[in-house]
Every structure is written in structure tokens, then in C-alpha cells.
């Protein structure tokens, strides 16, 4: 019971990180029709900015988070305006490769500005504050991450489902050309989507930073897991990838604890591949209508 609870808390924390990243990926996939491979790199870059603000300028973690989120918002807007929008004529794969170009530029810019040394970020609540539930320890920081990301995602879903701008996002996701004809400001929607996705990636990076330190490959596994979460949950809904993220985190922790530390991930991947064979559009995905 104790170990299982420990695993559960751990999975909820990593699941939240995966879910934030996956939500950013699906947001861009739906509005810009491209798989954003740069999601992790943007988050990492912002984590470096945060670490810089903390170590050199001496702000505390809360202020640092706000600084990083503002920077992420700006980066998202800039990327959409000067790169993604001019390339709207390019095909799906070409757009994916553009995000590879963004990765190269950001990674090098990051080493150029901040160097290659690893940096550290503090937890929001230091790790000595924790409570015990049935013998399992739950750090308040973990609890905070779980609660904040759940609230954030619930808020985002409410926004997407209930507000005017949310409606605009949904129709842009379904058919951009028609939406444009109907008077939806699709350009602004894609811009806000990129900004939001960058902010979500940044939050994921700052949440994961105290565990793995701030370094250039800190989000690689998070990003890959977020892609997998997207396929597991299905890219045709916004909530599917989020649920997929929690499932993957739980499966990964369970298999690596009970079966094998090295091969746990491989087992999870094989299970999901098998699952995809029988349900090719994910848990909540619908088969898209295709013209013949």
C-alpha cells in the first residue's frame, strides 16, 4: 500500500508535467497543423532564463516563474509571426522540419548566452515540508504541482469549451479556411496558441527542473512521452492527451518498479503500440472524415 501510494504520487507529479507538455503539443497540432518538435526546446530555453534570473539576479522562484512565463509568451508570439505564418504554404512534413530549425537556433542561442553548465532551480516549497499518508510521504511541492496543473488545465478546458475565444479556437482547429471566411480571427488564434503552448512547456520545464537540474536535454524524455500521450489519448480532442499523459506516467512507474528498471519503458511502449494497432486513433480519438 505504502509503495503503491508512493508510486501514485510520483506518477501524478510526472503525469502533470507530461500533461502540460502534451496539451501544448495538441494545441499547436490542432491550430497550426504541425507537430511541434521544438516544444521541449522552448521550455528548456525558458528554464535557463529562469535559472539565470534566480542565480544572477537573486529573485525567488515565484517571481522567476512569472518572468519565464512572460518570456515564453513573447517567444511564442515571435515564432508564430516570423516563422510559422510565412510558411503556411508548406506541407505538413516541411512544417515539422521548420520546428527542427527552431530547435537548432534556440539550442545554440542558449549555449551562446548561458553556456553549457548545468544550472539549478529551487522547489516552490522546500523538500523538508511533507506530510505522510498511510506511511507514504507526499511532499507539499508535489501536491502543489499536481493541484496547480490540474486547476490550470481545468481552467483551460473551461475556456476552450465555454468562452467566445474558446469557440474560435475550436472552429479554427476543425477547419481554418472556413473559419476565416466566417470572420474568425484565425491569425490571432494561432498566435495565442503558440504563446500558450510555449507557456505550458515552460511550466513543465520549471516543474521538472529541481529533479533533473537545468540542462540542455532536460525535457527530451518529457517531450517524447508527451507525443506518446497524444497518440494514446488521441489528437482529435484536447482532453485525450492529458488523460493519456497520466496513464503513461503511471504505467511507466509501475512497470519500472515491479518488472524492470531498464526495460519498464520498453514494455510500456510495446503495450501502447499493440493498443494502437487495435484502436488506431487513440482512446478518445475519432476517425477523421476523408474525401475520396
Partner 1 sequence: MNKKRQSMITSIREGVKALRHPGAFLKQHPRMMYIVFGLLYMVIAYLPHFGLIEFGTMGVFAYIAIYSIVALGLNLLLGFSGLISLSTAGFMGAGALGTGVLIQQGLPFELAAAIAVITAGAIGALIGLFSLKVEGIYLAIATLFVGEILHKIYTQVAIFGGDAIRIGAIKVFGLRELSQISQIDRTYLFILIVAILVLMMIVMHNIVHSKTGRALLAMSRSEHAAQAMGISILRYRLTAFVTATMFAATAGVAYALYFQSVTTAQWTLSASLFIIAMVVVGGYKSIYGTLLGVFIIHGIPELIIKDYLGDVSYIFSGILIIIVIIFYPNGFVYIWYDLKGWMYKVNVKQKIKNLFTKEPTNRGDSQ
Name the minimum Å distance from CB 68 to partner 1.
22
Q: Report the residue number, 57 or 100, with the smaller CB distance to partner 1.
A: 100
| CB distance 219 to 41 below 8 Å | yes
User: Of 26, 23, 21, 83, which is closest to residue 46 (Cα–Cα)?
Assistant: 21
> In this structure, what are the phi and psi dihedrals at residue 85, rounded to the nearest 5 degrees?
-65, -45
User: Of 215, 211, 217, 243, which is closest to residue 228 (Cα–Cα)?
Assistant: 243
Q: Report the residue number, 130 or 256, with the smaller CB distance to partner 1.
A: 256
User: Of 226, 229, 232, 252, which is closest to residue 38 (Cα–Cα)?
Assistant: 226
Separation of alpha carbons 201 and 49, rounded Å: 14
Q: Report the residue number, 15 or 282, with the smaller CB distance to partner 1.
A: 282
Q: Report the residue number, 105 or 143, with the smaller CB distance to partner 1.
A: 105
Q: How many CB atoms lie within 10 A of CB 251?
A: 19
Name the minimum Å distance from CB 210 to partner 1.
25
Residues at the site binding partner 1, with contacts judged by CB under 8 A: 29, 35, 37, 83, 86-87, 89-91, 93-98, 100-105, 107-109, 111-112, 220, 224, 227-228, 230-231, 235, 262-263, 265-266, 269-270, 272-273, 276-277, 280-282, 292
Name the minimum Å distance from CB 28 to partner 1.
12
Separation of alpha carbons 133 and 89, rounded Å: 55
Name the minimum Å distance from CB 290 to partner 1.
8
- Quick one: angle between helices 264-278 and 220-233, nearest 10? 30
Q: Which string of b and e fits 35-64 if b means at least 16 CB within 10 Å?
A: bbbbbbbbbbbbbbbbbbbbeeeeeebeeb
Q: Report the residue number, 74 or 266, with the smaller CB distance to partner 1.
A: 266
Q: Report the residue number, 104 or 167, with the smaller CB distance to partner 1.
A: 104
Q: Give one DSSP letter per residue of 174-214, joined into a string.
A: H-HHHHHHTT--HHHHHHHHHHHHHHHHHHHHHHHHHHH-B
Name the minimum Å distance from CB 168 to partner 1.
23
Name the minimum Å distance from CB 72 to partner 1.
19
Give the three-state DSSP class for 1. Answer: coil
Name the minimum Å distance from CB 121 to partner 1.
24
Separation of alpha carbons 122 and 213, rounded Å: 10
Amino acid at each position: 500500500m505504502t509503495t503503491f501510494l508512493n508510486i501514485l504520487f510520483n506518477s501524478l507529479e510526472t503525469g502533470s508535467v507530461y500533461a502540460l507538455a502534451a496539451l501544448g503539443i495538441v494545441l499547436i497540432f490542432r491550430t497550426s497543423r504541425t507537430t511541434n518538435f521544438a516544444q521541449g526546446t522552448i521550455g528548456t530555453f525558458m528554464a535557463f532564463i529562469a535559472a539565470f534570473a534566480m542565480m544572477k539576479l537573486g529573485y525567488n522562484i515565484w517571481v522567476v516563474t512569472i518572468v519565464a512565463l512572460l518570456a515564453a509568451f513573447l517567444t511564442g508570439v515571435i515564432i508564430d509571426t516570423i516563422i510559422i505564418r510565412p510558411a503556411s504554404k508548406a506541407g505538413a512534413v516541411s512544417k515539422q522540419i521548420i520546428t527542427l530549425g527552431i530547435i537548432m537556433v534556440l539550442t545554440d542561442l542558449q549555449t551562446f548566452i548561458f553556456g553549457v553548465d548545468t544550472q539549478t532551480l529551487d522547489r516552490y516549497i522546500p523538500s523538508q515540508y511533507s506530510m505522510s499518508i498511510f506511511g507514504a510521504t507526499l511532499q507539499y511541492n508535489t501536491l502543489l504541482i499536481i493541484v496547480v496543473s490540474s486547476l490550470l488545465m481545468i481552467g483551460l478546458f473551461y475556456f476552450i469549451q465555454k468562452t467566445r475565444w474558446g469557440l474560435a479556437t475550436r472552429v479554427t482547429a476543425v477547419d481554418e479556411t472556413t473559419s476565416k471566411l466566417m470572420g474568425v480571427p484565425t491569425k490571432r488564434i494561432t498566435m495565442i496558441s503558440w504563446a500558450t503552448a510555449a507557456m505550458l512547456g515552460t511550466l513543465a520545464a520549471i516543474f521538472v527542473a529541481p529533479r533533473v537540474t537545468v540542462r540542455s536535454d532536460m525535457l527530451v524524455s518529457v517531450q517524447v512521452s508527451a507525443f506518446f500521450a497524444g497518440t494514446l489519448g488521441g489528437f482529435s480532442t484536447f482532453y485525450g492527451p492529458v488523460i493519456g499523459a497520466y496513464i503513461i506516467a503511471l504505467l511507466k512507474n509501475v512497470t519500472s518498479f515491479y518488472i524492470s528498471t531498464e526495460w519498464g519503458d520498453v514494455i510500456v511502449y510495446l503495450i501502447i503500440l499493440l493498443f494502437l494497432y487495435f484502436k488506431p486513433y487513440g482512446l478518445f480519438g475519432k476517425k477523421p472524415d476523408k474525401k475520396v
